[in-house]
Amino acid sequence: MPHSSFPTPHSLMLKDFPDHHDAELVLKVYELRREPVMRESRDKINGSQFMPKSYEDVQTIRKPEHPLNAPFRQMSTYWEMVYGLARHGIVHGDYLIESNGEGLILLAKMFPFLEQYRKDSSPRAFANAEWIATQCELGKVVFAAHRERIEKLRAAK
């Protein structure tokens, strides 16, 4: 699995148990996902409109004039922000991923191209999503399931 050069916080900063503050943050994350522009972006990126089969497909979506460019940027930055809450110990990671595994769909779609994307775009790209997919116990399970499903869909296209 590619590893980002983005440093991982010390484990002392991570939360051992969720509390009411975690619940408030998770509810806020859910509320933000329901906004119309975000919902439209989620539909486009999580659905079949974005299913890169090659790095060239990824490069194409990076062009500002591409119709999926704005939804891609919105989704990738949103989930990086959300998963950063867990990575930095603000919210309990496994509690967060229980209802927010959707962001790992995008990571699964980008995963085969992640190393090159980081070289071309940003070395920190998808660092928080990768962290939740590799360092949180439930995140590992959710990511593996999304990755398997995406690979089957990618092969069928």
Q: Is the pTM of this model over 0.85?
A: yes
For the record, the structure tokens of 43 come out as 């539909």
Q: Whole-angstrom Cα distance, residue 54 to residue 90? A: 35
Place of tokens 């919902």: 39
Q: Express each pLDDT in 87-111 by its tens digit.
A: 999 999 999 999 999 999 999 999 9
User: Please, are residues 104 and 143 in contact by the beta-carbon 8 Å criterion?
Assistant: yes
Q: What is the mean pLDDT of the chain?
A: 91
pLDDT over threshold 50, residue 123: yes
Q: What pLDDT sits at residue 139?
A: 97
For the record, the structure tokens of 56 come out as 């060239």
The band of 11, judged by pLDDT with boundaries at 50, 70 and 90, is: very low
